[in-house]
Homo-oligomer: A and B are copies of this chain.
Amino acid sequence: MPEIRRNPLSDTWVIIATERSKRPSDFADTGEKHKKESKTCPFCLGNEHLTPPEITALRKNRAKPNSQGWTVRVVPNKFAALQQNGSPDARKKEMYDIMKGVGAHEVVIESPDHNKELYEHDEEHIFNVLKIWRSRYQELGKNSIIKYTQLFRNYGSAAGASLTHPHSQIISTPLIPKNIMEELEGFERFHKEKGKCILCDMVPFEAEEKVRVVTENEEFLSFCPFAARFPFETWIVPKKHEKQFSEITDQGLSHLADILKRTLKMLAEKVNDPPYNLILRSAPYSVNENEIYHWHIQILPRLTKVAGFEWGTGYYINPTPPEDAASYLRE
């Protein structure tokens, strides 16, 4: 019998479709192979002139900006979805609302190595990438037009990656996104009912239940959520309440580097290197003292297709129960 499960953060329901059930191993050979090309890659060493001038970079030596010698590099997206200058100038046009596409769109080139995936680097390098993520969250928040920053990582062409050189992207919007508004409402709903943060409640519950846990360390729990939309969907949640990713300490970052490396490695090795989208969910910059939010990371492997049912309803069909996915990853 299929089950319908509710995600209490977003108030979305998911059908765990046992009749079309896929055991985790059914995906083991269906993963997409990610062809690596580097000839004229704008993110490779020596091709710094192929990107717009860099925003920031980590450099071991004291080399000049836009020269070689960097280990992590941030540049504006050459084909930016949103642009940094001007104001939104929101206006109405009959029943429609429209504004100028202002905000920011940046690319974090995670290393000069075209063929080394994020999780294949040592923890220290991953820590440095995460430190750059944090600094961009902090820096972009200083722009009063920006209401929210969304960091994401598209891996594999089925997940929308157009360049194979390992990178993450940051888009800052002049609006608080719909999904974040919905989660803020979900946190509020739970807080009204139980007097606490839902993720602060969920993390110890999941850690004790164990069936959906992928891995953990002192500061983070990695688990397949109860209402997983996708096979092997995995969340990495800080155990301590923290609203915004920009607040994370260096110690937090090093624990995050550890759990992110191990979680991505398990996915790549057990599920045959699946395409995925990684998204960082954090409170809007304007979050106030009374608002509850708890930042976290969602990893969404793209092994199933989003089709008419999902577009029509906003609900999802997942053929792999998260309990099976987690146990397969843990094994």
Query: Which residues of chain A have a CB within 8 Å of any CB of chain B?
Result: 1-6, 8, 11-13, 15-20, 79-83, 86, 88, 94-101, 148, 150-154, 157-161, 169, 171, 173-175, 177-180, 182, 190, 194, 198, 201-202, 205, 226-227, 277-281, 298, 300, 305-309, 311-315, 317
Contact = CB atoms under 8 A, between A and B. Distances in A.
A152 B308 contact: yes
Given A5-B96, A6-B98, A307-B152, A312 B280 contact: yes
A98 B5 contact: yes
Contact of A97 (B1, B5, B157, B202): B5
The 7 lowest CB-CB distance pairs between A and B, nearest first, are A152-B308, A2-B101, A160-B307, A177-B313, A160-B305, A178-B314, A179-B314
B101 A312 contact: no
A157 B18 CA distance: 22
A153 B158 CA distance: 21
Contact of A81 (B151, B182, B305, B309): B309
A286 B201 CA distance: 35
Given A5-B98, A6-B97, A279-B312, 11 more contacts: A1-B83, A2-B83, A4-B82, A4-B175, A11-B178, A20-B80, A95-B201, A150-B309, A154-B307, A169-B308, A179-B311
Nearest to A194: B95
Nearest to A10: B178
Contacts of A16: 101
Given A101-B3, A300-B311, A312-B152, A95 B305 contact: no
